[in-house]
Structure 1
């Protein structure tokens, strides 16, 4: 594959690249425009260049165009989100719960424990937890907020834009979330000791504006924990245009770890730790990306579980055959994480005083 660029933290995914049209570029108002009408890199401001196209998440979405930064390796989704498309319809807020939700419950608790360990590491934990003002931005159904409260963070709260998420948080976990977008929440300046942003930043058109808001929420010296896919990962490089974490066109910015750190630095944060070994998304992402080379639709099992893909005998057979690769995928992703090429990363940053 040609094009793209190589950040200092990893390489370029494979896949067939082609030229990308520049008309109708779907970028946010806070993103500048680079050469040939392409957007400037949202992470470092460098002019991007046409990179590749990749399949959209929906069956009828067609291919989605991307541009990539030659400096930090961050990529941008160029194709706008179609009118009337609900970005949450097949995710955490789908009308029906995903298949296998009951079986997945122990895994979800494991994932929440790892998330909270990162918060404890960043804030000191221990007796200080009871007084830590923790805000989960983009809180979904409130699962992490509920877990944090149960584990000694009674002041934990969250902000969530969707009615479905807010209602689910109240009915499932007894958690009341503020219904608002991050930029519209109007929370007091300096109110939070810690803010978490779990796989939200890649979904917004203007990540810089979101970080500015979160910077204002935090007290000086407060910590921000950001989780997002890592385009410099081994699984991204190996799977190319069928990488599980591309999730087009819902993911608008595809960060590398260096790109995300540069963006944080430019908006008043100092990175103190980058974590590459994460249980929540990384092993599954490695496995699903590999199996996607065998299925007609990329990420078929994920979409089947989310009830956004029909039952298809051919793809089911490929998934069944792919189960033998699960141990190899887990081992490969563990090695990737130890080599700082994890499929997703969690970056812990501190607001500068």
Structure 2
């Protein structure tokens, strides 16, 4: 298998990378992967991960819910319930941050298409891209969405979208800096970029260490904190306009972590940790299990 070894930090360029954690792929392979931390800026990344052309098999499991839409088990039932609530919240957030009730939206990594369908029903002109063929097929069959493969990103004209969303997608993308450059190009001058990613400085990440399910190696290549994603965005001409906690994520991630650790009563243990994480994020939202970041293009006077 061809693997990619990162020689320098994609955020600050430093070559001082040190091994920080050793994690196991609990979903698909049982393989071990190492996380390295940049000694200069603190950015955390998965080292020696499968190259883009070969990583697909690590997603080929019925348990990978964003592609399979499985409802099997209590934890996935919780996921679906929370998703129904969050779809409405995400739609409101998009319209609030974009200062408009309709417009042109691109959803990258749309999965099975729930969010794209929600925004289309709100009157938005929606384009959606997704790498996984099975997920694209689901979106077509259930929502009549013509979701394009991820290669279609290069086909859109510059300044095509008022809003671009990536809901738990950025951590999967091999070509990190190239993606941010493309996002900048595709947005209008007053456009809004909304990115949701796990937060490896969260309460639950600190509690569980290498077992934290949101490390999700090797599918998650990059592991962000509020500081490191702010730095990365600034490198590509964006300013962080707002950030919002996603406290519900702590419940699902904690339950999944407890399952991976093979603890008895994983559901209840996860609920308990999720509750503690919830209260932690109320005090300090940057401790939330996942965060939603809102970015806008820098004005020329700011650059």
Normalising by the smaller structure, the TM-score range is 0.7 to 0.9
Aligned to 1:242: 211
Q: Does structure 2 retain, via aligned residues, the 8 Å contact 1:73–1:256?
A: no
Aligned to 1:40: 8
Q: Does structure 2 retain, via aligned residues, the 8 Å contact 1:74–1:231?
A: no
Change (3 A) 1:332 1:165: same
Q: Does structure 2 retain, via aligned residues, the 8 Å contact 1:44–1:259?
A: no
Please report how far the alpha carbon of residue 237 of structure 1 lies from its aligned counterpart in structure 2 after TM superposition.
1.1
Change (3 A) 1:65 1:243: same
1:175-194 alignment, distance < 5 Å: 175-181=145-151, 184-194=153-163
Does residue 325 in structure 1 map to residue 296 in structure 2? Answer: no
| Larger Rg computed on CA atoms | 1
* Residue in structure 2 matching 1:116, options 65, 68, 91: 91
Change (3 A) 1:177 1:230: same
Does residue 107 in structure 1 map to residue 82 in structure 2? Answer: yes
Give structure 2 stretches of 5+ with no counterpart. none
Three-state SS of the structure 1 residue aligned to 2:59 is coil
* Residues 19-67 of structure 1: per-residue CA shift (max 9 Å, x gap): xxxxx8624xxxxxxxxxx632222323321222111234643321121
Three-state SS of the structure 1 residue aligned to 2:191 is strand
Three-state SS of the structure 2 residue aligned to 1:346 is strand
Please report how far the alpha carbon of residue 288 of structure 1 lies from its aligned counterpart in structure 2 after TM superposition.
3.2
Give structure 1 stretches of 5+ with no counterpart. 1-23, 28-37, 299-314
1:240-319 alignment, distance < 5 Å: 240-279=209-248, 281-289=249-257, 291-292=258-259, 297-298=260-261, 315=262, 318-319=263-264
Q: Which has the higher strand share?
A: 2
Does residue 133 in structure 1 map to residue 79 in structure 2? Answer: no
TM value normalised by structure 1: 0.74
Aligned to 1:147: 118
Aligned-pair RMSD on alpha carbons? 2.4
Three-state SS of the structure 2 residue aligned to 1:86 is helix
Aligned to 1:305: none
Q: Does structure 2 retain, via aligned residues, the 8 Å contact 1:57–1:249?
A: no
In structure 2, C-alpha distance between the alignment counterparts of 1:84 and 1:219, rounded to whole Å: 33
Change (3 A) 1:234 1:72: farther
In structure 2, C-alpha distance between the alignment counterparts of 1:102 and 1:68, rounded to whole Å: 35
Q: Which has the higher helix share?
A: 2
Q: Does structure 2 retain, via aligned residues, the 8 Å contact 1:134–1:153?
A: no
Aligned to 1:168: 138
Relative CO higher for 1 or 2, CA cutoff 8 Å, sep ≥ 6? Answer: 1
TM value normalised by structure 2: 0.86
Please report how far the alpha carbon of residue 147 of structure 1 lies from its aligned counterpart in structure 2 after TM superposition.
0.9
In structure 2, C-alpha distance between the alignment counterparts of 1:234 and 1:173, rounded to whole Å: 36
Three-state SS of the structure 2 residue aligned to 1:107 is helix
Q: Does structure 2 retain, via aligned residues, the 8 Å contact 1:221–1:352?
A: no
What is the number of residues matched between the two proteins? 288
Please report how far the alpha carbon of residue 105 of structure 1 lies from its aligned counterpart in structure 2 after TM superposition.
4.0
